[in-house]
Structure 1
Amino acid sequence: MPYEKLEITTPKPVLSWANHALGSQETKMAKNVASLPFVFKHVALMPDVHLGKGALVGSVLATKDAVIPAAVGVDIGCGMAAIKTPFVAKQLEGKLKKIRLDIEAAIPVGFEQNKDVEKAVTNWQGWGDFKELHSGVQRLDGKAMKQLGSLGGGNHFIELCLDNENQVWLMLHSGSRHIGNMLAQCHISTAKELAKLAQYRLPDPDLAYFVAGTSEFAAYWRDLQWAQNYARCNREIMMTRFQRIVEKHLTGGKQTKPLLSVNCHHNYAEKEVHFGEEVYLTRKGAVRAREEDYGIIPGSMGAKSFIVKGKGNHESYCSCSHGAGRLMSRTKAKKQFTLDDLVEQTQGIECRKDRGVLDEIPGAYKSIDQVMSNQSDLVEVVAQLKQVVCVKG
């Protein structure tokens, strides 16, 4: 679907790939961002766009000489990892519950952390730069080390999936855990204080920003890159454990080589070149989709997911959606749906079916098929996946 230009009066236009009109709060949020003086060219909204903090989740913004910490968000580097294995569906018969229990035993979820620190964690090169990070997180080095290789809660998940050819895929969704959250909050707080001191006229306090060339900008950018690397490493460590569990059940522990590996952020900022100019590109709930880039677009815990390859659409800043996107808040989902609904909507999937995950019920999310049809000009589908095991925090 080609984008549409929103009919709003702002210094920079807003292009939307969503198939629905934005609500009044969403429209206001889009206008607020598009009114900032340092926004470059236009703002791009992905098909799964919905309310966020400061900026819409599912928005891509390019900025010149400034970056907005709250637009990146508090789960810095949150993203997806997936591998295509040499295994086929038949090999999983009778083993799904054991695999789920082993995943839950090996990978901490929710607020849990690892009891022991493995070699892959202590060997991570990022620890050498920890003392350079914001003073507000210096007491968290032990926790950060124990959380590297843990899932977290909310919409984070680990899934065993099958594609249309019955090939087995491993997939997971996680970010930079507590350390990323605390780094983000420290810098968001600094940005808001600076905005007050400088008496910036901001349409929303959550759009407080840092200006390139200042010490505050340099400190945030350094910490941002560190947290993004932490998040990527977090997914790699969990994926290795996940892979070993599946191999234990399917090959007796003999290691195998993935046929394809993908690891991509969808909450982050990088320096990129767009329309011939270097900009700071923030993807808040969006995946990079340059030509030949592989990406992962998950549905809800009862719906299909997609492995995609980017088409390099310049109007979207070479981006695509990061998932189905929420249709309703977690509070509303808990009020609207029952446990019976959850059981029905996750039929055939080996997963938790209790009140603790009711807010993640598939009915609380947009249709992933609709989201995919809206971005046929942004990505091509490489594989369509359906989960058979789902572990949530």
Structure 2
Amino acid sequence: MPDAHQGYGLPIGGVLAVDNAVIPYGVGMDIGCRMALSVFDLPAHYLEQRTQELKKLLHNHTRFGNKEVFKNPANDPVLDRPEFKEIPVVKGKREAAINQLGSSGSGNHFVEWGIVDITIEDNDLDLPLGKYMGLLSHSGSRGLGAAIAQHYTKIAMSKCPLPPEARYLAWLGLDSQEGQEYWRAMNLAGDYASACHHDIHRRLSLALGAKPVAKVENHHNFAWKETLPDGREAIVHRKGATPAGQGVLGVIPGSMTAPGFIVRGRGERDSIQSASHGAGRRMSRTQAKQNISEGDLRRHLRDQGIELIGGGLDEAPMAYKDIHQVMAHQRDLVNVLGSFTPRIVRMDAGGGSKSRYGGE
């Protein structure tokens, strides 16, 4: 994908179709990480008029990192799934999953208010052309997904020894007990990540006092059973890449000062019906910390009119590729229906181990 950069096993921004097997590190650590967008029938200038109020809503109704959780986390049917009783590695993570429901990870994860601009009349969202206020979130399956990834990657490496340079591509056959276990656990983690986003958007919608008029959700770091264009069935791994089948909706974010895009997939055969999941890094986290100062970041945010709560130098917009160039490279993969421009951004204050739009 045009946002690709180096990772373990598959690159971030890598897509791989295989026959009747699943590669835990072809999925990645943050299983089912996703974007979720809510569009409100509120004018774009609402953001400028209520900036301090909206900042307070983000501060009061979101939680980030490993230390922040809600005192009274919401309940969700995903927490009653039988996998929590039937799969050993998952069984020990249910309590943490309950506590972390509705929270976001560190590093590249965020919740932000911004301006949605619908630019195509035939947009599948039943929205008239124009600008709206929007809420965009990016987060994944928290500790649950990480535990599943680590556990089954070790099993795959022990059962499928590969040369050192390829060891993270170790696979589990879907006919094996371990492969079936991982598949169920992966899908549980993906559904849990979705539940976290639904809770984030529910809390903030209630606090805002407005119901969304449209929603878009898409995920990466996952494996799907799909039929390829030539008719073969395959397990399609998208690590830091998103589905872009014919008519599939998604959000491809830029950076905290650059727009993201609401897109509709074109079902391109040569990309295995996939598109990028963001802008992708042009500097490593270490390079960003060495080359970007706190003053540089603050000036850039001020010039772009961005209010930032938390975040760090490793997530500075200058560390990311130009989203417009990335989108130009994938004109054959997606059609753009509109954009989302961030205005008020919240991220973990302590930083983290992931890049904003391209983590494992």
Shared fold (TM-score, shorter chain, > 0.5): yes
Provide the C-alpha distance between the structure 2 equivalents of 1:299 and 1:308, rounded to a whole number of angstroms: 13
Aligned to 2:70: 114
Aligned to 2:154: 189
Provide the C-alpha distance between the structure 2 equivalents of 1:94 and 1:224, rounded to a whole number of angstroms: 43
Provide the C-alpha distance between the structure 2 equivalents of 1:107 and 1:88, rounded to a whole number of angstroms: 23
Instruction: Please report how far the alpha carbon of residue 122 of structure 1 lies from its aligned counterpart in structure 2 after TM superposition.
Output: 4.2
Q: For 1:242-391, what aligned pairs fall within 5 Å after superposition?
A: 242-247=204-209, 255-256=210-211, 258-274=212-228, 275-347=230-302, 348-352=305-309, 356-391=311-346
Contact 1:300 1:324 in 2 (8 A): yes
Instruction: Please report how far the alpha carbon of residue 357 of structure 1 lies from its aligned counterpart in structure 2 after TM superposition.
Output: 1.3
Instruction: Please report how far the alpha carbon of residue 178 of structure 1 lies from its aligned counterpart in structure 2 after TM superposition.
Output: 0.6
1:129-177 CA-to-partner distances (Å, cap 9, x unmatched) read 31122x2343321111111100111100111111344311111001000
Provide the C-alpha distance between the structure 2 equivalents of 1:182 and 1:90, rounded to a whole number of angstroms: 43
Aligned to 2:138: 173
Aligned to 2:120: none
Contact 1:82 1:261 in 2 (8 A): yes
Change (3 A) 1:315 1:93: same
Provide the C-alpha distance between the structure 2 equivalents of 1:176 and 1:115, rounded to a whole number of angstroms: 19
Q: State the one-letter code of the partner of 1:302.
A: T
Aligned to 2:355: none
1:243-285 CA-to-partner distances (Å, cap 9, x unmatched) read 22332xxxxxxx43x2321111111001000020110010111
* Secondary structure at 1:235 match in 2: helix
Contact 2:84 2:90 in 1 (8 A): no
Instruction: Please report how far the alpha carbon of residue 79 of structure 1 lies from its aligned counterpart in structure 2 after TM superposition.
Output: 0.9
Instruction: Please report how far the alpha carbon of residue 361 of structure 1 lies from its aligned counterpart in structure 2 after TM superposition.
Output: 0.3
Provide the C-alpha distance between the structure 2 equivalents of 1:99 and 1:277, rounded to a whole number of angstroms: 49
Matched, 1:132 2:86: yes
Contact 1:126 1:226 in 2 (8 A): no
Q: State the one-letter code of the partner of 1:268.
A: F
Matched, 1:218 2:180: yes
Structure 1 counterpart of 2:25, from 51, 70, 95: 70
1:175-200 CA-to-partner distances (Å, cap 9, x unmatched) read 0001110111010111111124xxx4
Aligned to 1:251: none
1:104-147 CA-to-partner distances (Å, cap 9, x unmatched) read 222111112222122xx2443653431122x2343321111111
Contact 1:349 1:389 in 2 (8 A): yes
Give the percent of matched residue pairs that are identical in Structure 1 and Structure 2: 38
Provide the C-alpha distance between the structure 2 equivalents of 1:334 and 1:269, rounded to a whole number of angstroms: 33
* Secondary structure at 1:204 match in 2: helix
Matched, 1:142 2:107: no
Which consecutive residues of structure 2, in runs of 5 or more, have no partner in the other structure? 118-129, 349-360
Instruction: Please report how far the alpha carbon of residue 101 of structure 1 lies from its aligned counterpart in structure 2 after TM superposition.
Output: 2.2
* Secondary structure at 2:2 match in 1: strand
Count how many residue pairs are aligned between Structure 1 and Structure 2. 332
Question: Bigger CA drift: 146-155 or 108-117?
Answer: 108-117
Which consecutive residues of structure 1, in runs of 5 or more, have no partner in the other structure? 1-45, 248-254
Provide the C-alpha distance between the structure 1 equivalents of 2:257 and 2:80, rounded to a whole number of angstroms: 36
Instruction: Please report how far the alpha carbon of residue 380 of structure 1 lies from its aligned counterpart in structure 2 after TM superposition.
Output: 0.8
* Secondary structure at 1:151 match in 2: coil
Provide the C-alpha distance between the structure 1 equivalents of 2:4 and 2:78, rounded to a whole number of angstroms: 34
Provide the C-alpha distance between the structure 1 equivalents of 2:232 and 2:292, rounded to a whole number of angstroms: 48
Contact 2:29 2:150 in 1 (8 A): yes
* Secondary structure at 1:351 match in 2: strand
Q: State the one-letter code of the partner of 2:92.
A: R
Q: Who wins on radius of gyration, i.e. which is larger? A: 1
| Higher RCO structure (Cα 8 Å, ≥6 apart) | 2
* Secondary structure at 1:332 match in 2: helix
Aligned to 1:5: none
Change (3 A) 1:126 1:281: farther
TM-score normalised over the length of structure 1: 0.81
Aligned to 1:232: 194
TM-score normalised over the length of structure 2: 0.88
